[in-house]
Chain A
Amino acid sequence: MNILYKVFLVIAICFIYLPIYAQDESVKLSFGDSTLTKNGNITFTGTITNMTTGEPLQGAHFYVDGLVGCATDQFGRYFLLMEPGKHKLALRHISMEPKFFVISIFESSVFNTTMTEKAFQLEELVVSAEGPAQNIQQTIGGVSTIKISQLKAVPALAGEPDLMKSIQLLPGVTTVGEGSAGFNVRGGRQDQNLMLLNEAMLIGSSHAIGFLSTINTDVVEEFTLYKGAAPAYLGGRSASVLNVRTRSGSFEKWQGNFSIGSALSKITAEGPLKKDKASMLFAGRISNANWLLKQVDNPDVRSSNVRFNDTYTNVSWKINQKNFIDASLLTSSDYFRFASQFGYSWNSLLSSINMRNLIHENISISTIAAFGKFENSYFDYEGVKSAKITNGLTYSQLKSSALFAWGDHTFTAGAESILYHSDPEKIAPNTAESTVVKNQVQKEKGRESALFLAFEVLPWEWLSISGGLRTSFFQQLGPDTVFQYATNKAKASNSITDTIAYDKGVIQSYYGFEPRLSFRVSINKNQSIKAGYARMNQYIHAISNTSSPTPIDLWQMSTAYIAPQLSDNFSLGYFLNFKSDLYSTSIEGFYRMSKNQVEYKDFASLFQNHHLETELLSGLGRSYGVEFLLKKNRGKWTGWISYTWSRAFSKVDGQFQEEKINQGEWFASNYDRPHAASMVLTKKIWPRSSFGITTTYITGRPFSAIDNYYLLNGALIPNYSDRNLYRIPDYFRIDLTFTAGNVFRRIEDSLNISLYNFLGRQNAYSVYYERFANRPRFNAYKLSLLGAMLPSISYTVTIK
């Protein structure tokens, strides 16, 4: 009895003192006069920002008296309805230190606060595609959000954490191969992914033909990939949306870092222009691979030149608690010249101004004005035929939206317009001896506009619905010349019957309704089912008659002959977390149909072509698949395993024989890769080091093989199969990375060693045929772009 009494006493004391201890960390706040008690609910609202960067924090959760209250939106805003009185509040975010409050509230109040990033110790090593709870609670399926701190733990080419390479490790995302610009989402083409930088459209996002993206991860806060069912306020491409959010510079103090690596060097500097009011951030990267060339015996390689660089500059100004403005500029440049024989270059620029205004306690306005430019060129020095060909696209974007938050419900309405202006495609002599005719082909102008209304409502705890409608419009603008073709022949240069010259004004218009609907049904707090549907239109298209897209692709607008691409995307998924969110799993199925998908005639000639429509074909697309994901969210070892089974087909069955591919039957698209699996694992090594390993397996992509041969005027000509009947060998790669923190005691530094393609596997990029001497047939060869292990090392010093 005595013992039982003592146990009871200990437990009782614990129950009494633990809350007191907990409350010791709580901040006590009071709002309103307790003597003027209101009846009914009162509003408690405000904005949560990152203390270091000043950026609004999305996805922070308020817990009221132990129950989930609400999450902050993309502007960091929250909105709670509560009864007057005393409440305990907990504010949590996956990568921020939690905060606790005890508030006495008696009238509607605004409360803004900040959160501090968690220390490096654990959270920076949590590699997960998204927060564990988000997996269950998020309304839209097929959404992956990666924090940049998570991305840095993933092994990378040249030791540089890369957004594109990380995305390719997510389920449902593949790529045509190394050296391919972009990625494929759920059977979509690369140009069907909308790339946004703070919601401003980005074109031209690759360095070194796709080995690296132009977005410096040092300035990225997080990025979100919508695989099909994007909210209605995002649109313009028919497969996916990748929204990258950058951060502002520190409002508190000047700081920065610099890094020297075997292939890349970079610097970041940030600080307050006016403390707590305005800040700036500058980040720049420059390749330093030329010294490697000097080590090669071949004189041509030694005299070659390869370089790329990018910069990002941001200025942010907190005008007051309700108004925020920032301006940013992203530039990137690539140049490659082989000896004095030929080369490529491409440059891109994106500048934007973003304003966020809280005009009412539950209404905020966001406005973006952006200007972008992308240009590329190919040049050679081959005698009289030496030429330089340049292409480009310029665009201006304006987008404004209003967000109304009411409790757990949010409504977003707005409009967007983008004016495109393709630069003329120019060819000019590149050397004095060249006899190439200087010429230019005029390209189109167009305007894409959209009105949208999106909502996310939570009628019951177990059900959330996200949906909306986007109405998009596209106008091809003059002045331009439109060719007329004979109706009884396939479109070709010899079936042109007339030309119509248009002055300024609208030549051709398209519009599209894009309904979006997703819902989540929670079975319990650890399980949910999500379903979604989205229709998406696309009015500009990357034109590239190569097996995989390249950075020197043309961008072509919809015209009277090139209809907008349209896709219908369906998805259904089951999400399960267990062991207190230690593990997250999901299985998602998708089905996607698309129309007016751009395909190419065999041997399509795209450069210096006044009537590109004669080389393009319009087809149907169909893809479907199932994605599995298992994640471990905490512990010494974290990471995920994903597997996707999917198929992607195209069908081009035009009116005339020349407008059919594979006799008008369905055929595997270039990016049809049925099995894709990846594993990402990271281990924290005490106290400030980490080890990461990724493995990737993908079925080889389809290609056309030689079926037989024939002799033509003495030449042995290979006769190829129908398009994409065969497959190149499967792809498998293991990467390793090790990061050691605090290499030297007195400075904050880190050393990264990465081994890309650790096994040195000669993974096939392509299979091609070559005939040597007078052998009676062509031999097949497997080409590997990276046929060996690629080690890299970088050393970074952070100054605070």
Chain B
Amino acid sequence: MMLKAMQKNGWLFFLLMLNSQCIEPITIKLSDNGKEQMVIYGRITDQDESNYVTVYRTINDANQPRPISGATVTVTADDLTTYTFQESKPGLYEMQPGPPRQPGHSYLLNITLLNGTTYQSKAEVMPTYIGTDSLTYSISEETFESADFSRLLHKLYVNTKTELPIKGDYFLRWETDEVYYWNLTDFPDPFNTPPPDCIASDRVDPQRINLINGNLVNEGTLNQLVAERELDYTFKSRHYLIVRQFSISENSFLYWNNVKTLLNNTGSPFDIPPATLQGNIRNVSDTDEQVLGYFEAARQSNKRFFLVPGFIPYYIEPLCDYVPGQDINRYKPICLDCGLMPNSSNTIPPWFM
């Protein structure tokens, strides 16, 4: 990330190093032109996981999700196979078991809201190529410094090593998830009943976009950093990192490349000016409506590894350990209720242990 930012900045970074007070916060008074927009993201893969669609509206910050419930969501293949998605939580629609998705086939997303408005994506062809990653990680101790304070933190870096084939029409994207066992506070009781199992999962470093265009590289080994995360109390028990490689279409690649451009914008003279991202989904009856988001059909391959506290050469402060005599209200809510953890479940995946 740092390297990318520096590459984009060039002279800017250089000037900043010489004169460190060139960036300062500013308040931009927004006009009332910012309009509410529909946001749809969907993905269908050849795996039985990672197939979901989200339907939301634009928000003023990340803590204000504005899901749209009750939509009818389907994906139709070019062989007319239809895959249905059911709402598992507000705004999140997950695919129901159905026939396997086939690389080389095209898929089309259809969404009908309760008010009858219908949205449809362009057809996306699932690529046939998929590569294989091998994973490595590193842990380091760093000092975080801001204008007000500094603190020591420990960081985990996840890297992939990918053998690239000869130059070709393939486009790859990587994302990293984590799945970890969450230790709820184990209060003593006469029957020694442990708290229920709690598994939490989340996306790691979602603002990092890793992409490669096979037309621009020859065969060779690609080493890249795919995720970076602070080691916190969630690493007190077994913690899986799953790196997913997606083989996507060229249009999907271009879309994600634009996302990357937006997220890496640093205001330098060499920056591409930011703009609204144009996706591949439209309102069927009102083509003037600007719909945000994208629907993609991807081949997928996963690699995972886990960490347990013994692998980490630093002490991690516990959060939910039982403290004799401490009032239950003084425990963090997440120590008491698995449902407060991100994407939590009481079911342990079969591969977890």
Give the residues from 266 to 302 in chain B that come closer than 8 angstroms, CB to CB, to chain A: 266-278, 287, 292-294
11 A–B contacts from the bound complex (CB under 8 Å): A341-B6, A384-B221, A385-B222, A436-B218, A550-B270, A708-B60, A716-B206, A722-B33, A767-B28, A769-B274, A785-B22
A716 pairs with B62, CB closer than 8 A: yes
User: Most chain-B CB neighbours within 10 Å: which of A717, A766, A768?
Assistant: A717
- A209-B269, A710-B58 given; 19 more Cβ-contact pairs under 8 Å: A208-B11, A209-B10, A296-B18, A342-B10, A383-B222, A435-B222, A437-B218, A545-B273, A603-B257, A603-B272, A711-B54, A712-B39, A715-B263, A717-B277, A726-B28, A726-B30, A782-B25, A784-B23, A786-B22
B10 pairs with A546, CB closer than 8 A: no
- Nearest CB of chain B from residue A298's CB, rounded to whole Å: 5
Across-interface contacts of B30 in A (CB, < 8 A)? 705, 707, 721, 726
Quick one: which of A304, A546, A657 contacts B273, CB cutoff 8 A? Answer: A546
Across-interface contacts of A654 in B (CB, < 8 A)? none
Give the residues from 450 to 484 in chain A that come closer than 8 angstroms, CB to CB, to chain B: none
B61 pairs with A709, CB closer than 8 A: yes
Tell yes or no: A85 within 8 A of B by CB. no
Tell yes or no: A602 within 8 A of B by CB. yes
Tell yes or no: B219 within 8 A of A by CB. yes
**Do A382 and B269 contact each other (CB < 8 Å), given the known contacts A437-B215, A725-B33, A762-B21?**
no
Quick one: which of A293, A384, A716 contacts B223, CB cutoff 8 A? Answer: A384
Which residue of B is nearest A545, CB measured? B272
Tell yes or no: A7 within 8 A of B by CB. no
Across-interface contacts of B268 in A (CB, < 8 A)? 766, 783
A548 pairs with B269, CB closer than 8 A: yes
B42-76 Cβ-contact flags toward A at 8 Å (1 or 0): 01000000000010111111111100000000000
Tell yes or no: B15 within 8 A of A by CB. yes
A762 pairs with B22, CB closer than 8 A: yes
A718 pairs with B58, CB closer than 8 A: no
B22 pairs with A784, CB closer than 8 A: yes
Tell yes or no: B329 within 8 A of A by CB. no
B23-39 Cβ-contact flags toward A at 8 Å (1 or 0): 11111101101111101
A775-795 Cβ-contact flags toward B at 8 Å (1 or 0): 111011111111110000000
- Nearest CB of chain A from residue B107's CB, rounded to whole Å: 17
A residues touching B (Cβ–Cβ < 8 Å)?
179-180, 208-209, 292-293, 296, 298, 300-301, 304, 306, 336, 338, 341-344, 380, 382-385, 427, 433-437, 439, 494, 545-548, 550, 552, 602-605, 608, 657-658, 703-705, 707-723, 725-726, 729, 762, 764-771, 774-777, 779-788
Which residue of A is nearest B175, CB measured? A713
Q: How many pairs of A and B residues are in contact by the CB < 8 Å rule?
A: 258
A710 to B207, CA, bound (A): 12
Across-interface contacts of B234 in A (CB, < 8 A)? none
**Do A719 and B7 contact each other (CB < 8 Å), given the known contacts A301-B17, A709-B60?**
no
Across-interface contacts of B216 in A (CB, < 8 A)? 385, 427, 436-437, 439, 608
- Nearest CB of chain B from residue A611's CB, rounded to whole Å: 14
Tell yes or no: B154 within 8 A of A by CB. no
B275 pairs with A435, CB closer than 8 A: no
Tell yes or no: B13 within 8 A of A by CB. yes
Tell yes or no: B90 within 8 A of A by CB. no
Across-interface contacts of B257 in A (CB, < 8 A)? 603
A300 to B215, CA, bound (A): 32
A719 pairs with B26, CB closer than 8 A: no
Across-interface contacts of B220 in A (CB, < 8 A)? 384, 433-435
B21 pairs with A787, CB closer than 8 A: yes
A135 to B319, CA, bound (A): 79
B140-152 Cβ-contact flags toward A at 8 Å (1 or 0): 0000000000000
A684 to B33, CA, bound (A): 54
- Nearest CB of chain B from residue A692's CB, rounded to whole Å: 24
Quick one: which of B28, B206, B266, B275 contacts A723, CB cutoff 8 A? Answer: B275
Quick one: which of B33, B59, B223, B267 contacts A709, CB cutoff 8 A? Answer: B59
A721 pairs with B267, CB closer than 8 A: no
B58 pairs with A179, CB closer than 8 A: no
- Nearest CB of chain B from residue A432's CB, rounded to whole Å: 11
Across-interface contacts of A293 in B (CB, < 8 A)? 18
A547 pairs with B276, CB closer than 8 A: no
Across-interface contacts of A771 in B (CB, < 8 A)? 207
B269 pairs with A788, CB closer than 8 A: no
Quick one: which of B23, B164, B219, B276 contacts A719, CB cutoff 8 A? Answer: B276
**Do A292 and B267 contact each other (CB < 8 Å), given the known contacts A602-B278, A710-B58?**
no
A780 pairs with B27, CB closer than 8 A: yes
A780 pairs with B25, CB closer than 8 A: yes
B175 pairs with A550, CB closer than 8 A: no
Across-interface contacts of A712 in B (CB, < 8 A)? 39, 41, 259, 292-294
A725 to B63, CA, bound (A): 26
A301 pairs with B22, CB closer than 8 A: no
Across-interface contacts of B6 in A (CB, < 8 A)? 338, 341-342
Tell yes or no: B113 within 8 A of A by CB. no
Tell yes or no: B3 within 8 A of A by CB. yes
B37 pairs with A767, CB closer than 8 A: no
A547 pairs with B259, CB closer than 8 A: no
A710 to B37, CA, bound (A): 9
Tell yes or no: B106 within 8 A of A by CB. no
Tell yes or no: B203 within 8 A of A by CB. yes
Tell yes or no: B258 within 8 A of A by CB. yes
Which residue of B is nearest A434, CB measured? B220
Which residue of B is nearest A387, CB measured? B216
A781 pairs with B217, CB closer than 8 A: no
- Nearest CB of chain B from residue A252's CB, rounded to whole Å: 43
Across-interface contacts of A718 in B (CB, < 8 A)? 262, 274
Which residue of A is nearest B144, CB measured? A773
Across-interface contacts of B61 in A (CB, < 8 A)? 709, 776-777
Quick one: which of B7, B59, B254 contacts A380, CB cutoff 8 A? Answer: B7
Tell yes or no: B261 within 8 A of A by CB. yes
Tell yes or no: B315 within 8 A of A by CB. no
Quick one: which of B27, B217, B258 contacts A384, CB cutoff 8 A? Answer: B217
A711 pairs with B269, CB closer than 8 A: no
Across-interface contacts of A208 in B (CB, < 8 A)? 11
Across-interface contacts of A435 in B (CB, < 8 A)? 164, 217-220, 222
Tell yes or no: B233 within 8 A of A by CB. no
Give the residues from 207 to 249 in chain B that come closer than 8 angstroms, CB to CB, to chain A: 207, 209, 212, 215-224
A283 to B138, CA, bound (A): 55
- Nearest CB of chain B from residue A610's CB, rounded to whole Å: 12
A783 to B271, CA, bound (A): 12
- Nearest CB of chain A from residue B214's CB, rounded to whole Å: 9
B59 pairs with A711, CB closer than 8 A: yes
Across-interface contacts of B54 in A (CB, < 8 A)? 711
- Nearest CB of chain A from residue B50's CB, rounded to whole Å: 10
Tell yes or no: B14 within 8 A of A by CB. yes
Across-interface contacts of B217 in A (CB, < 8 A)? 384-385, 435-437
Tell yes or no: B19 within 8 A of A by CB. yes
A445 to B281, CA, bound (A): 40
- Nearest CB of chain A from residue B15's CB, rounded to whole Å: 6
- Shortest 6 CB-CB distances between A and B: which pairs? A707-B34, A768-B267, A435-B220, A714-B203, A602-B275, A714-B206
A713 pairs with B62, CB closer than 8 A: no
B206 pairs with A298, CB closer than 8 A: no
B261 pairs with A550, CB closer than 8 A: no
Tell yes or no: B303 within 8 A of A by CB. no
Quick one: which of B11, B167, B175, B287 contacts A179, CB cutoff 8 A? Answer: B11
- Nearest CB of chain A from residue B283's CB, rounded to whole Å: 13
**Do A720 and B222 contact each other (CB < 8 Å), given the known contacts A711-B54, A785-B15?**
no
**Do A711 and B14 contact each other (CB < 8 Å), given the known contacts A384-B217, A705-B28, A725-B31?**
no
A785 pairs with B12, CB closer than 8 A: yes
A548 to B257, CA, bound (A): 22
A385 to B222, CA, bound (A): 8
B157-168 Cβ-contact flags toward A at 8 Å (1 or 0): 000000010010
- Nearest CB of chain B from residue A436's CB, rounded to whole Å: 6
- Nearest CB of chain B from residue A612's CB, rounded to whole Å: 15
- Nearest CB of chain B from residue A2's CB, rounded to whole Å: 79
